[in-house]
Structure 1
Amino acid sequence: MKSDDDFRVRPGRIRSRAAQRARPFIFQALAAAQRAGGHISRKGNVISSRASTFGRGRSASIRANRLITGRSRGAVVKARVVREFRGSTPLAAHLKYLGREGVSRDGEKAKMFGPDGDEADHDAFSDRCRDDRHHFRFIVSPDDAQELGDLKSFARGLMVDMERDLGTKLDWIGIDHWNTEHPHVHILVRGVADDGENLVISRDYIRQGMRDRASDILTQTLGPRTDKDIRRTVERQIDTERWTQLDRQLVRDADRLGIINLAPPGSHQPDEFLTLKIGRLRKLERLGLASEIRPGQWTIAEEAETTLHALGERGDIIKRMHRSISDHSVERGAADYVLAAGQTAEPIIGRLLERGLDDELRGSAYAVVDGVDGRVHHIRFQDLDATGDSAPGSIVELRHYKDAKGRGRVALAIRSDFSV
């Protein structure tokens, strides 16, 4: 019988440093620089750790977070790194779509802007990106964009902060959009630093640091949030059918068993948002996503976040379809909405009401078709090219095919150019 102290020796080769000592000094120095967090560029130069393989901006994201308080104004930042490869949607086409009519504040055709002026040449920017390995696409949406008003100046200030954080000048172009419920600015950045090396940005900076910088600029411009502002923001989240900041807070409030204790405290100061949290949990309970296991004690379902994200997306699609049929004076009830058309082989023929980008970062597209079957179909596509080039009002048909890799795809084909 073996005791707890038994162990088995596995002899191995003793590591020798003789070979390392025999290496030329320059190789030992370069190796030491890399172990210290430095990086060896393509040209053989030792550059600072901020340009390491982990990306620039790691420490800056920590510094930016120190500026954020409970009264800071918020901003949403979405980001995507787009690698250039054969068959990918050209950047020029993406820029052209971003500058389409109807997205500006006055409803006219939008104009690109840059660090030095309100008019930037998007074709020249696209040409500069032609041989780059990748580029960055950012969407920045300040919480108080309407009050802020000037998104161009806001974007320029953010890019100045980013240049300081990343330790390089940035070649970028931007455009502000006011055609949605949440005004936002698109910023595209070349994936090249000012030393000619590929620009690699830390994931921490993209995920948190950039958002904190945007939040700090917004707070400095409009001032900190008041108690009334904070309460109004939380109140708006109570009945929302999407994943909210209040939901994240409730998850953080849970103990290790997942129980959220909202029972009225005894001698302790009551939570000022107690009634709002209970109101949100009651809403989640009606959706089947929360349960009150004992008076004042709640649990949230594990699938709550996934379900609420799906509900939010569904709500966005319904708003989009309702806008399309209203713009074309089409009368259809909610029962006639087909939200996930195109996922089956069912043929769809009808009048094209609207097309556009479903995800402005990834470049995926959508189309809304008023079908001959009396229903309105919302169809998703891999890219905007798959929606065809027919004008709204044209008769189109959804066709299914397989691409070169055997994957199922869908595309719209024109049946008639005449508007109906």
Structure 2
Amino acid sequence: MKHFHILSVLVAATLTLSSLIACAPAASRRVSLTLWLDTNDKEMHFFKQLARQFEQEHPRLRLKLRFVSFENLKPRFQGQVGETREPDILYMMNDWVGELVEQNLLRPLSQTPQGLMPQALQSMRYGGNLYGAPFVLQTIGLVYNRDLIAKPPTDSNSLQALQAKQRPKDHYTLLYDQRNFYYHAPWFHACGGQIFDARGHLAIRPEPLLRSLSWARSLQRKGVVPQGASYSVMVNLFSAGQSDLMVTGPWSISLLEENQLSYGVAPLPRGDCPGTPKPFIGVKGFGINRLSDHHEEAEQVIAFLTSRKIQQQVLSELDNLPVRADVYQTRLKPAQQVFFSQLNQSVPMPNHPLMKYVWQEMNWLLGQVFDGQPIQPRMDEALERLYRQARRHEAA
């Protein structure tokens, strides 16, 4: 009987303890959040350091990072979020916003982060709501090897003059990712082109597109740009000293510094159109998964990442441009200064849901053009498919 009494007391105590644990306030439990992002090696180290710093300042929260390649990040999120409910936070490009919102995958932020540039915040707005917190600005410029050329070209004539110089057979004048519309867009804009009008309707006109494509292909035919240039080919050849110039953004700078190259950054050279080349301004930032069970904690992470202290670290430790105006009181690195000044000659990257199809059709068209296909019929074909998608979207 005595043993039975002791056993009863132990069982009761265990049940009481279990009840206390189950009923413990949420504030006493440690919450784990997942952040999916794409980075280069330098940024990977930086974000790991930020995660440790965040956990020290927020001991109740744990921030788990998962690094995914850029080309797989969005499709993996779209494909797995319904099954795994992960990640809580997505490091995304602003041109994904409209598409992900219409797929009901993002949650609007409950508060607008303070101190961020208005144009950066606008890039993350869709349908009147803010769906992401900007983190860095991105654009492109002309990077040149100072050991090979003293002065970067400013137009087509100076590009061709550079090409006319005698050089080894495996040396190139200019490299850029030819089949990626992101890198072609500056000269499309210089010819008067635009993607959407002020009301958000597709507005790609054939004439500026044709003029920019004809000029780009002429560079390949004259040997200024080699056939088949891609991003990976570009950075490898430039890093090896086999190219005078390349078109890229701040994300490539760390690789040049690792290879101890003497480089400079300049504005993009003019093409055959009278306008100034205007690259896209892209914004990378953090969105919250609509299915996350920890959206309030996710907003704490976002507030930390967009704080002045962290944005100051972005400016001093990374090559990208922060989105807080108040950190630019610090002297910029020479490359950052050129990219920053290039923002004044740039076009905000649209976040319209149709951007997915714009990239798809324009990249296909560039591939056709640089493979030697006739420009006009291939352009008509791509635009017809694109406008068909636009009509479907407007009718939905």
- Higher CA-based Rg: 1
Higher helix content, 1 or 2:
2
Do they superpose with TM above 0.5? no
Relative to the length of structure 2, the TM-score reads 0.22
Higher RCO (Cα < 8 Å, 6 or more apart): 2
Relative to the length of structure 1, the TM-score reads 0.21
Higher strand content, 1 or 2:
1
